[in-house]
Chains A and B, each alone.
Chain A
Amino acid sequence: MPIQFSRRWRHIALGLAAAALAHGTQADDGTRAARVPLLPQYQQECAACHVAYPPGMLPAASWQRLIDNLPRHFGTDASLDAATVKNLSTWLAAHAGNGMRAREAPTEDRITRSAWFIREHDEVRAATWKLPAVKSAANCVACHTRADQGAFNEHDIRVPR
């Protein structure tokens, strides 16, 4: 016989479960952005040239500008057909950052110019950024070994020497 919860108790239980989940995500991935399973098309198109940046790392306004300017994407032509642009745009808008970290659009819509990004990386030595294995602050996977899976857990960090 299933246990019958009153509607009120069910709400409270659901609320607690949601809070626990949200807390787990915050503690785990270090970005405080919910980890979203990556749309295969996003992975296929965007991760051809760089790591598939989690959509929660930028606010919707930044993603919109990036997607509208793919033919001039940080100095390269990353143009896509209209149908693909529409799909990616919808998905990015739905999963864009909306918490503390991605509230404001960073300079040039670069994740690496976000206040939270700079703060999180303030312990990284200047020489480390210049290593050939790192090359660019956009090269997450140089240190975040599971960045390509959208995982930025502190336990997965291996800083090259």
Chain B
Amino acid sequence: MKTFPSLRCAAGALAVVLISVVPAARAVTPAEQLAGYVAQAGAPPAPARGQQLFTSTHGREWSCSSCHGAVPTQTGKHASTGKPIGALAPAFNAERFVDAAKAEKWFRRNCNDVIGRECSPAEKADMLAWLMTLKP
């Protein structure tokens, strides 16, 4: 009988560990995310090329900067709804590029809106490498 409370504690602790570890398993650092894109691209990233891609329009109405700002180190504004968008550069916003699925979702959507197609791993590597050069 005496072992029951401690067993329960252990089970509880295990559950807490599992709950906190399972989502964390998908968490990444911006550097790890960049390394992933570079590996897929098979070539080193070029931050200057990333900046060019980010700030230019590509035959459509918007550039990335339309919502994120030309230098995305502060809060941007959605170009059609006006809703604030938190800073994109990871050094200015700890929530950026720490969830691989989230980054992929937004690259897919936003490259489609800005360029009319998904971005290649090399393009994502270039842009993220540029964003990571932005420091306070």
On A, residues with C-beta under 8 Å from B are 49-51, 71, 74-81, 135-136, 138-139, 142
Q: Binding site of B, secondary structure by majority: helix, strand, loop or mixed?
A: helix
- Given A50-B83, A51-B83, answer yes or no on A80-B78 (Cβ-Cβ < 8 Å): no
B contact residues around A50 at 8 Å (CB)? 78, 81, 83
Chain B residues with CB under 8 A of A81: 105
State whether B108 touches A136 (Cβ < 8 A). Answer: no
Q: Does B80 contact A (CB under 8 A)?
A: yes
Cα distance A76–B116 when bound, in Å?
Answer: 10
Write the chain A residue with the least CB distance to B116: A77
What is the CB-to-nearest-CB distance from A128 to chain B, in angstroms, rounded to a whole number?
15
Find residues 61-101 in chain B having any chain A CB closer than 8 Å to their own CB: 78, 80-83
Task: Say whether B82 contacts A77, CB under 8 Å.
Answer: no
Total chain B interface residues with beta-carbon distance under 8 A: 11
Further pairs besides A77-B112, A81-B105, A139-B81: 12, Cβ < 8 Å = A49-B81, A50-B78, A50-B83, A71-B112, A74-B80, A76-B80, A76-B113, A77-B108, A77-B113, A79-B105, A136-B81, A142-B82
CA distance A51 to B113 in the complex (A): 20
Which residues of chain B have C-beta atoms less than 8 A from A49's C-beta?
Answer: 78, 81, 83
Q: Which 3 A-B pairs have the closest CB atoms?
A: A77-B112, A77-B109, A50-B81
Q: Is the CB of A75 within 8 A of B80?
A: yes
Tell me, rounded to whole Å, the shortest Cβ–Cβ distance linking A67 to chain B: 15
Tell me the smallest distance from the CB of A16 to a CB of chain B, in Å. 42
Please determine whether B109 and A139 come into contact, CB atoms closer than 8 angstroms: no
Chain A residue at minimal CB-CB distance from B109: A77
A139 touches B82 (CB 8 A): yes
- In the complex, which residues of chain A have a beta carbon less than 8 angstroms from the beta carbon of B105? 79-81
A-B contacts, 14 listed (Cβ < 8 Å):
A49-B81, A50-B83, A51-B83, A74-B80, A75-B80, A76-B113, A77-B108, A77-B112, A79-B109, A79-B112, A135-B81, A136-B80, A136-B81, A139-B83
Instruction: Please indicate which of the listed interface residues A50, A77, A138, A139 has the most CB atoms of chain B within 10 Å of its own CB.
Output: A77
